[in-house]
């Protein structure tokens, strides 16, 4: 799920008009990346990196 979101994330962020919305989407994304990393038990590694909420929100 996260891998497919990564390719669409920047486009999705560009459509958001408010900085607060960008921050919310990125915080949720980062939370799910961390949760997925913690749940790994010998499965495929999560190669998705966290996104810098402040840099994207200010862009």
Residue numbers in the chain where pLDDT is lower than 70: 1, 40-47, 59
- At residue 16, the pLDDT reads 92
Q: Against a cut of 0.75, is the pTM above it?
A: no
- At residue 25, the pLDDT reads 92
Separation between Cα atoms, residue 34 and residue 38, nearest integer Å = 6
- At residue 27, the pLDDT reads 93
- At residue 1, the pLDDT reads 65
> To which H or E segment does residue 49 belong?
none
């Amino acid at each position: 799920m996260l891998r497919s979101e990564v390719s669409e994330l920047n486009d999705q962020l560009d459509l958001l008009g408010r900085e607060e919305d960008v921050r919310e989407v990125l915080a949720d994304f980062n939370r799910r990346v961390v949760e997925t990393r913690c749940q790994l038990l010998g499965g495929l590694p999560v190669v998705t990196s966290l996104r810098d909420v402040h840099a994207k929100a200010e862009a």
